[in-house]
Structure 1
Amino acid sequence: MIEIPTLPSARLVLRKPMEKDAIDQLELFRDPEVMRFHGEEPYQSLQEVKDEINAFVELAETEEGMIWMIILKETDQCIGDIGFFKWDKANFRCEIGFKLKRDCWGKGLMSEAVTTILDFLFNELNLNRVEGLVDPNNLPSQKLLRRLGFQMEGVLRDYEFEKGRFGDLQMNSLLKREWNK
């Protein structure tokens, strides 16, 4: 098992998931706008969120990735989650994903969280490539990744089956040499 480190930034603390996060995360997972591009229907129960938090912990236990809770320093409130998965150690790459409560959108918080994770992935785990697969209609996530230097490589047609249909995903990537410029 890999220990999930605590990663501080100016306004945030990224820390390992805990059961106490379930109440805050329920608000996040219940919001149809937040879940719109995440391939799942909004959650309805606290138990679903607790199961998801357990899955976050298992990701580190199986060394397939890590998920952090995004904690706002000012209030100590859990406002989202961020992490990496599909960790391919042999090829020095992974995929990232993130969610943020709607009332925190547009404040630069996710940019701060993603920057913190990218520093960790490139400089601590020594990865060479980080991928972000984004729904082609998810313009805010596309803009965030572009701002941080990700390049759009193309569209993966009918890449995922979600909510009863096949959907495209846009492949974006950032290389270590581009990040460390």
Structure 2
Amino acid sequence: MKKLESERLILRDWNVSDLVDFHEISSNEKVSDLAGFRLKTSKEDSFKNLEKFIAASDDSTWKVKLKELDQVVFWAIELKELNKVVGWFELCEASCKPEQERFKYAKEIGFVLTEEYWGQGLMPEVIKRILIYLLNEEEIDAVVCSHFINNYQSEKAMEKCGFKFYLEDDEEKYYYVTKHAIDKIKI
């Protein structure tokens, strides 16, 4: 997978050595509630999940353009100054595309950040970096993102990154951004 960097962060492949950081994130109840994943109470559970993240990002995944990829891939988000994984970023097929007929290559992103680093502008920084990569280098037409209705931090991060609201259901709000918005995004 291509390693991406922003001012404070590195997006990279997962390693088995990330287990302690991964478990810290995936065993935090506030994080799991807002992100919608099952809380991992044991290191064994976390390790099983980490193995899936590693397998989803093996070298064969990156031999095709991401716009043609139909599986979920995960990046570790590492804080440069501490060499510590503080979250993850996922990419998959868009489950709910805005104006479907317009976007042949739409992908959906998801992100998780450990509670200790909330409110420091890290997630908008990493989202902007990945958007520039996906929309420019990978030729994705649109990037979709959603959050649970009560997850105001994610909503703020998406708005800071140029996402436009397009749909709300009983549980989630959906947003999208296209290449046309990229010129306004500054890292």
RMSD: 1.9
Structure 1: unaligned runs, 5 residues or longer:
158-167
Aligned to 2:81, what secondary structure does the other structure show?
coil
Are 2:148 and 1:151 equivalent residues in the alignment? no
* Alpha-carbon distance between aligned partners in 1 of 2:16 and 2:94, rounded to the nearest angstrom: 24
When the two structures are superposed, what TM-score results if normalisation uses the length of structure 1? 0.85
Identity %: 27
Choose between structure 1 and 2: higher helix proportion. Answer: 2
CA shift, 1:137, in A, is: 0.9
Structure 2 counterpart of 1:160: none
Structure 2: unaligned runs, 5 residues or longer:
62-68, 96-102
* Alpha-carbon distance between aligned partners in 2 of 1:175 and 1:146, rounded to the nearest angstrom: 13
Aligned residue among 155, 159, 179 for 1:142 = 155
Aligned residue among 120, 143, 146 for 1:130 = 143
Point out the more displaced range, 48-57 or 19-28: 48-57
* Alpha-carbon distance between aligned partners in 1 of 2:48 and 2:93, rounded to the nearest angstrom: 19
Aligned residue among 39, 43, 68 for 1:42 = 39
When the two structures are superposed, what TM-score results if normalisation uses the length of structure 2? 0.82
* Alpha-carbon distance between aligned partners in 2 of 1:38 and 1:24, rounded to the nearest angstrom: 17
Aligned residue among 63, 86, 101 for 1:79 = 86
Aligned residue among 108, 133, 136 for 1:120 = 133
Contact residue 111 and residue 144 of structure 1 kept, 8 A? yes
CA shift, 1:15, in A, is: 0.6
Aligned to 1:137, what secondary structure does the other structure show?
coil
Any idea what the Cα deviations from partners look like across 1:58-98, whole Å, max 9, x if unmatched? 4345642421111111111111111211269x921111111
What code does the residue aligned with 1:170 have? K
Any idea what the Cα deviations from partners look like across 1:106-148, whole Å, max 9, x if unmatched? 1111111111111111111110110011111111101110111
Choose between structure 1 and 2: higher strand proportion. Answer: 1
Structure 1 counterpart of 2:22: 25
CA shift, 1:8, in A, is: 1.2
Structure 1 counterpart of 2:50: 53
Specify which structure has the bigger relative contact order, considering alpha-carbon pairs within 8 angstroms and separated by 6 or more residues. 2
* Alpha-carbon distance between aligned partners in 2 of 1:92 and 1:114, rounded to the nearest angstrom: 18
Structure 1 counterpart of 2:11: 14
What code does the residue aligned with 2:131 have? L
Are 2:61 and 1:67 equivalent residues in the alignment? no
CA shift, 1:175, in A, is: 1.0
* Alpha-carbon distance between aligned partners in 2 of 1:30 and 1:99, rounded to the nearest angstrom: 12
The number of aligned residues is 167
